[in-house]
Amino acid sequence: MNLTLFGKPYAVADGSSAGDLIKSVSPDDLKKYYAVRLADGSLKDVFAPLTADGEVTPLSFEDEDGRKVYRHSCSHLLAMAVKSLYPEAKLAIGPAIENGFYYDFDLPQPFSPEDLPKIEKEMERIARKSIRPRRYTLPRAEAIALMEQRGEPYKVQLIQDLPEGEVLSFYEMGDFVDLCVGPHLPNLSYLKAFKLTQIAGAYWRGDEHNKMLCRVYGTCFPQKEQLEAYLTQLEEAKKRDHRKLGRELDLFDIRDEGPGFPFFYPKGMVLRNVLEDYWREIHRKAGYEEIKTPIMLNRALWERSGHWEKYRENMYTTKIDEVDFAIKPMNCPGGILVYERRLWSYRDLPCRSGEMGLVHRHEKSGALHGLMRVRCFTQDDAHIFMTPEQIKGEIKGVYDLINTVYTQFGFPYSVELSTRPENSIGTDAMWQLATEGLQGALDELGVKYTINEGDGAFYGPKIDFHLRDVLGRTWQCGTIQLDMNLPERFDLNYTGPDGEKHRPVMIHRVVFGSIERFIGILTEHFGGAFPTWLAPVQVKILTITDRSDDAAKELKALLLADGLRPELDLRNEKIGFKVREAQMMKIPYMFVLGDREAADKTVTIRNRKGDNLGTFPFAEAVAMVKKLNDERTLD
């Protein structure tokens, strides 16, 4: 048998494993590999016997699949510890997830946070035993019998729901056996740095009609230093949680009376309006016209667009005069009707229109999360109608616009090209032209991107932008979707140079994505300490005695006259208390006035970090803040 490892061919005995080869070629590196990928893309245990020639790629923690194997193995270690301590526990599922893993258990009494250290200690004890997982397969009837014998009803149901002929594999680790497709770490002793982080309720298979199980979350890393760094990041993320900061800073909240429907308070509306004003400014400069389309349109439109068939379960509907209507989950059909209002010539194109459109989507209650996952939100949608020859130029223009915005906020980002999904509409020729248009534009721009096969919209391929915040987390916000299908379904036309009718190409794109979600991301990215140009209150004017009140009011008027956002604090409180309170509200600057400052028309400036920046004349102090505001500096 011939295997290729690290680009070099090797002749090995039939039935050899990739682990055997790695051990002979590079024994010092063996323990850093958790699984191997074969030439056909399948994953195998490091020491699984191989039966065919081909390339084998060892996977470490640096590889996404390697991390999944590592963390999935830790989820099984968690299950082993739980079964050891609580034999009556029934096992459900235990996958790897981003940054960790979880396992669902059916218990007479759900775990409490006090139980987690005890379970962790048992995990450590089991890991030290250096158990090597053993994989084997069973026929369907024997697999069901095994799980029934071991008292695992959820595993029995999983087996019964699998299609006939599916390979049923199990992993045995000491006395513990679990239904699992694998692969697993070669040895449980690889697991040294793990932490159980959270307990939650979870319905079996995500169905609220099923039993509520106890879900235990955890995370793990190869090195304790990596784990400690991640746990520190988690603590920082808790401090920056936008839900907590939204309440503390009086910006926004989600009330029990409206799950998934955000409330924006006055300061939150200031932040929101500043973002929308910025959006309008850059779009005017880029040649867009602003429109507004109705929030509710009839069923015939949604059937014509394909949303009624593809998206019906996520739409809120009602009847008006015995006709079905839907509250819009997307803005694009309305944008198409705006294009339909007149005749277009090729000389008129491209036609660029955008709107801050409020949309509603039915999300399950368990999926809701602050402003990040809501049931109503405002999409900064824009739709561009163009000739086929204009595709690359328009995509480049949209890319430049999105790049400008993310750079403005200090977000690095990565780009992903998503191709045709299984449930798509349209012809092969349309999809090929659309995909080549997106890919060609990215190539000409010299942009690095990854390809996400099969994850495009049902009407066209797309480019997604994943921005990275200060904690290293990624968020999918901007998107560019090229659509040759909806113009066909709506019979859109323009008159070409030949005087004949031609079909336009359509781009759907967002920059913020959801403005609510973008505000949530910004809140966590800046920890509520927004740059001066975004801060709802930019300056807090603090007086030491009431003798300074008139001068403080004069200073406030100067700031307001320059379009800035000051607040006065004239309370009869100690100045240290006032300063600390303003810092807790994360206001960028505090202008402090005592008797001397009031007499000289000067002000002592402090920033929210506690630095004393010195004393300046009113005009200079106002000019400093205005410069930061107008230049949209990140401070």
Enzyme catalytic residues = 332, 361, 379, 381, 383, 462, 508
Report the distance separating Cα 437 and Cα 67, nearest Å: 34
User: Which of 253, 128, 165, 178 has the alpha carbon at shortest distance from 519?
Assistant: 253
Please enumerate in sequence order all residues whose Cβ is within 8 A of that of 529, keeping only pairs 6 or more positions apart, or say none. 586, 588, 608
Contact criterion met (CB below 8 Å) for 36 and 25: no
Write down the residue that tokens 């368990």 correspond to: 366
- Tokens for 507, please give them: 């781009």
DSSP annotation of 113: G
Report the distance separating Cα 17 and Cα 5, nearest Å: 12
Report the distance separating Cα 373 and Cα 516, nearest Å: 9
Report the distance separating Cα 152 and Cα 73, nearest Å: 19
φ, ψ of residue 336 to 5 degrees: the values are -70, -40
Indicate the burial class of 265 (C-beta count within 10 angstroms; 0-12, 13-18, 19 or more): middle
| E runs forming strands in 323-424 | 323-327, 351-360, 376-386, 413-418
DSSP annotation of 313: G
351-360 and 289-290 beta bridge pairing: parallel
Report the distance separating Cα 507 and Cα 604, nearest Å: 52
User: Which of 95, 395, 409 has the alpha carbon at shortest distance from 274?
Assistant: 409
* Sheet bearing 2-5, strands edge to edge: 8-11, 2-5, 54-59, 35-38, 43-44
- Tokens for 108, please give them: 């007479």
Report the distance separating Cα 366 and Cα 389, nearest Å: 45
User: Which of 204, 198, 144, 131 has the alpha carbon at shortest distance from 171?
Assistant: 131
Report the distance separating Cα 171 and Cα 155, nearest Å: 13
DSSP, collapsed to helix, strand or coil, labels residue 437 as helix
Indicate the burial class of 323 (C-beta count within 10 angstroms; 0-12, 13-18, 19 or more): exposed
Write down the residue that tokens 């040895």 correspond to: 187
Alpha helices by DSSP H, listed for 472-617, are: 486-489, 515-525, 549-561, 575-584, 595-600
Write down the residue that tokens 């801060």 correspond to: 535
Report the distance separating Cα 567 and Cα 552, nearest Å: 10
Question: What Cα–Cα distance (Å) separates residue 579 from each residue in 109, 506, 612?
Answer: 49, 53, 11
Q: Which amino acid appears at position 27 of this protein?
A: P
- Tokens for 386, please give them: 């163009």
- Tokens for 203, please give them: 């319905």
Please enumerate in sequence order all residues whose Cβ is within 8 A of that of 519, keeping only pairs 6 or more positions apart, or say none. 242, 251, 252, 268, 271, 272, 275, 371
